[in-house]
Amino acid sequence: MASLDSHVLMKSFFLYTLLVTSVSSETKCLNYQSIISFGDSIADTGNLIGLSNPNDLPESAFPPYGETFFHHPTGRFSDGRLIIDFIAEFLGLPHLPPFYGSKNGNFERGVNFAVGGATALECSVLEERGIHCSTNKSLGVQLKSFKESLPTLCGSPSNSIDMIGNALFLIGEIGGNDYNYPFFVHKNIEEVKELVPLVISTISTTILELVDMGGRTFLVPGNFPLGCSVTYLTLYQTSNKQEYDPQTRCLTWLNEFSEYHNGQLQAELNRLRKLYPHVNIIYGDYYNALLRLIQEPAKFGLMNNPLPACCGLGGQYNFTFGVKCGLKEVECCKDPSKYVNWDGVHMTEAAYKWIAEGLLKGPYAVPSLDWSCLSSEIKVKESLDT
Catalytic (active-site) positions: 41, 343, 346
Residues 6+ apart with CB under 8 A from 112: 36, 37, 43, 44, 45, 46, 47, 84, 96, 97, 98, 99
Integer angstrom CA distances of residue 320 from 230, 294, 311, 343, 344: 10, 21, 11, 10, 9
In one-letter notation, the amino acid at residue 238 is T
Q: Are 216 and 165 in contact (CB under 8 A)?
A: yes
**CA 188 – CA 241 distance, rounded (Å):** 21
237-244 LR contacts (CB < 8 Å, sep 24+)? 237/316
Nearest Cα neighbor of 285 from 363, 210, 342 is 363
Nearest Cα neighbor of 82 from 114, 58, 52 is 114
State the Cα angle at 253 between 237 and 234, rounded to 5°.
20
